[in-house]
């Protein structure tokens, strides 16, 4: 049977930035959202596939700006195939677009990683869409390395980062601005279309605010691997919570950050500046065992990932679970939780013109969620890539 050119999603409760729309309908055409309205507005539509979303939420696809791998595959393998395999898993858990994320490694390994991102973006993944790369490290503070291998941490080197930007895919860079050499990269990255995030940093409150003055407006896994908030010395965390323009990533797995600290963050930053990320690594979707994370090994025991020195490594979190945790642990509404997983991350990396919400003209990245917020269907640019 010939595929119909249009799809009408009906009978669900649509989550839009403006409101929850019970019984609304979304017309998808050419990979985009053509219009949203009442079912009756669309008439019979003989050329459209009708998708019945009765009993479901219709949500915008989630956007994960910080993720290292899944199902045994690591972004640092440096192949488009590893990225695509992980992307298929992400789509089952609601992620429709993401930034493959590197970890601190040799110049050659980061070069291979960026080459793989270029290739995966060109080919497409069959799952979540690649929007570019998040380069996390190597220009970080060894005192706040967390699970990043310290032997490759180095000050920013212009020849090296010029090569990164020549790839054309760098969208987000995590760095420690208190390292003097790293500060010159901030204006350079902004001029070349990337967003700069403070992370793995021991910056004081003053140093963080100075970096914000230079254009840093994003914080990598807030609370983790950064100087904490003391009331006479507010540290990186204090500056991130205080500076209104800073988007704050949060690993909402209740392991990396205590539920009370999760709630404090969402109250301080609001839905407009809270960015849910998974920071997931190769073990996501599998469970206990030993897994690669760049040049190192992570040990997963009782669903918690650590490197050999005992530091927490990336998580086993998925975006659908992060949304559930935010609703359960922080007293947020579903609409607020969904916004922090979709529109706010899209805005944080400047792709909200086509991503992040269900609005006419945007890409048709659509989820159906059951009443327990499990993903039952994922659509990426109008194509169904997962159905339960
Ligand atoms: Zn990470």
Residue 158 banded pLDDT, cuts 50, 70, 90: very high
Residues 36 and 106 in one domain: no
Residues 231 and 373 in one domain: no
- Cβ atoms of 148 and 200 within 8 Å: the answer is yes
Taking the C-alpha atoms of residue 182 and residue 107, their distance in angstroms, rounded to an integer, is: 16
Does any domain span residue 366? Answer: yes
Task: Report, as an integer, the average pLDDT of 256-270.
Answer: 98
| Ligand 1 center from residue 195 Cα (angstroms) | 16
Q: In percent, how much of the chain has pLDDT > 70?
A: 99
Residues 52 and 71 in one domain: no
Residues 274 and 156 in one domain: yes
Residues 71 and 132 in one domain: yes
pLDDT at 287: 83
pLDDT at 329: 97
We report the CATH number of the domain holding residue 15 as: 2.30.40.10
Of 28-42, 89-103, 275-289, 303-317, minimum mean pLDDT range: 303-317
Q: What is the CA radius of gyration of the chain?
A: 20
| Ligand 1 center from residue 173 Cα (angstroms) | 11
Q: Please enumerate in sequence order all residues whose Cβ is within 8 A of that of 148, keeping only pairs 6 or more positions apart, or say none.
A: 103, 104, 136, 137, 138, 140, 200
Does any domain span residue 1? Answer: no
Does any domain span residue 177? Answer: yes
Residues 20 and 154 in one domain: no
Two tokens, residue 371: 């009443």
Does any domain span residue 12? Answer: yes
Number of structural domains in the chain:
2
Residues 145 and 33 in one domain: no
Does any domain span residue 272? Answer: yes
| Ligand 1 center from residue 101 Cα (angstroms) | 7
Taking the C-alpha atoms of residue 36 and residue 3, their distance in angstroms, rounded to an integer, is: 22
Whether omega before 119 lies within 30 degrees of 0, making that bond cis, reads no
Does any domain span residue 296? Answer: yes
pLDDT exceeds cutoff 70 at 1: no
279, 320, 363, 365: which one is catalytic? 279
Residues 78 and 121 in one domain: yes
Give 87-144 pLDDT, tens digit per residue: 999 999 999 999 999 999 999 999 999 999 999 999 999 999 999 999 999 999 999 9
| Ligand 1 center from residue 26 Cα (angstroms) | 35
pLDDT exceeds cutoff 80 at 291: yes
pLDDT exceeds cutoff 60 at 316: yes
Residue 293 banded pLDDT, cuts 50, 70, 90: confident
Residues 51 and 66 in one domain: no
Closest to 219 in 3D by CA, of 259, 192, 257? 257
| Ligand 1 center from residue 315 Cα (angstroms) | 9
Two tokens, residue 319: 């975006």
DSSP secondary structure of 194-244? -EEEE-SB---HHHHHHHHHHT--EESSTTTTB---BTTB-HHHHHHHH-T
Task: Report, as an integer, the average pLDDT of 73-88.
Answer: 97
DSSP secondary structure of 35-103? EEEEGGGG---TTEEEEE-TT-EEEEPEEEEEE-EETTEEGGG--HHHHHHHHHHHHHTTEEEEEEB--
Mean pLDDT of the chain: 96
We report the CATH number of the domain holding residue 228 as: 3.20.20.140
pLDDT at 2: 58
Q: Is 350 a catalytic residue?
A: no
Two tokens, residue 210: 């100075």
Does any domain span residue 354? Answer: no
Residues 20 and 161 in one domain: no
pLDDT exceeds cutoff 90 at 35: yes
Q: Which residue carries 């967003």 as its tokens?
A: 195
Give 338-378 pLDDT, tens digit per residue: 999 999 999 999 999 999 999 999 999 999 999 999 999 99
Does any domain span residue 353? Answer: no
Taking the C-alpha atoms of residue 48 and residue 64, their distance in angstroms, rounded to an integer, is: 31
Residues 370 and 247 in one domain: no
Closest to 385 in 3D by CA, of 362, 361, 364? 364
- Cβ atoms of 53 and 386 within 8 Å: the answer is no
Taking the C-alpha atoms of residue 12 and residue 251, their distance in angstroms, rounded to an integer, is: 29
| Ligand 1 center from residue 103 Cα (angstroms) | 7
Two tokens, residue 281: 């690594």
Q: Please enumerate in sequence order all residues whose Cβ is within 8 A of that of 90, keeping only pairs 6 or more positions apart, or say none.
A: 64, 67, 70, 98, 127, 128, 318, 319
Residues 270 and 377 in one domain: no
Domain span holding position 69: 62-348
pLDDT exceeds cutoff 90 at 310: no
Two tokens, residue 236: 């990186």
Closest to 349 in 3D by CA, of 174, 210, 198, 196? 196
């Amino acid at each position: 049977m010939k595929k119909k050119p249009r799809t009408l999603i009906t009978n669900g409760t649509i989550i839009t930035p403006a409101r929850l729309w019970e019984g609304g309908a979304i017309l998808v055409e050419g990979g985009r959202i053509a219009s949203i309205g009442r079912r009756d507005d669309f008439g019979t539509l003989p050329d459209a596939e009708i998708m019945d979303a009765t009993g479901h939420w219709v949500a915008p696809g989630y956007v994960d700006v910080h993720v290292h791998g899944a199902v045994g595959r690591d972004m640092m393998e440096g192949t488009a195939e590893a990225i695509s395999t992980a992307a298929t898993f992400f789509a089952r858990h609601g992620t429709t677009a993401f930034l493959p994320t590197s970890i601190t490694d040799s110049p050659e390994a980061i070069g291979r990683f960026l080459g793989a991102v270029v290739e995966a973006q060109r080919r497409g993944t069959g799952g979540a869409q690649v929007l570019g790369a998040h380069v996390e490290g190597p220009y970080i503070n060894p005192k706040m390395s967390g699970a990043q291998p310290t032997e490759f941490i180095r000050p920013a080197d212009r020849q090296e980062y010029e090569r990164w930007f020549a790839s054309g895919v760098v969208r987000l860079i995590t760095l420690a601005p208190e390292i003097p050499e790293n500060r010159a990269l901030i204006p350079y990255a902004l001029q070349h279309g990337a967003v700069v995030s403070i992370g793995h940093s021991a910056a004081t409150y003053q140093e963080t605010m100075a970096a914000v003055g230079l254009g840093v407006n994003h914080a990598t896994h807030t609370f983790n691997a950064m100087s904490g908030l003391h009331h006479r010395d507010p540290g990186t965390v204090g500056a991130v919570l205080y500076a209104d323009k800073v988007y704050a990533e949060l690993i909402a797995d209740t392991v990396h950050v205590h539920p009370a600290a999760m709630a404090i963050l969402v109250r301080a930053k609001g839905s407009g500046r809270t960015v849910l990320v998974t920071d997931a690594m190769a073990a996501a979707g599998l469970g206990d065992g030993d897994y690669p994370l760049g040049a190192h090994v992570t040990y997963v025991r009782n669903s918690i990932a650590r490197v050999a020195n005992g530091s927490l490594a990336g998580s086993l979190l998925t975006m659908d679970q992060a949304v559930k945790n935010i609703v359960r642990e922080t007293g947020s509404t579903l609409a607020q939780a969904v916004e922090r997983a979709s529109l706010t991350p899209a805005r944080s990396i400047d792709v909200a013109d086509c991503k992040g919400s269900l609005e006419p003209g945007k890409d048709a990245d659509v989820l159906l969620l059951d009443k327990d917020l499990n993903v039952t269907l994922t659509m990426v640019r109008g194509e169904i890539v997962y159905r339960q």
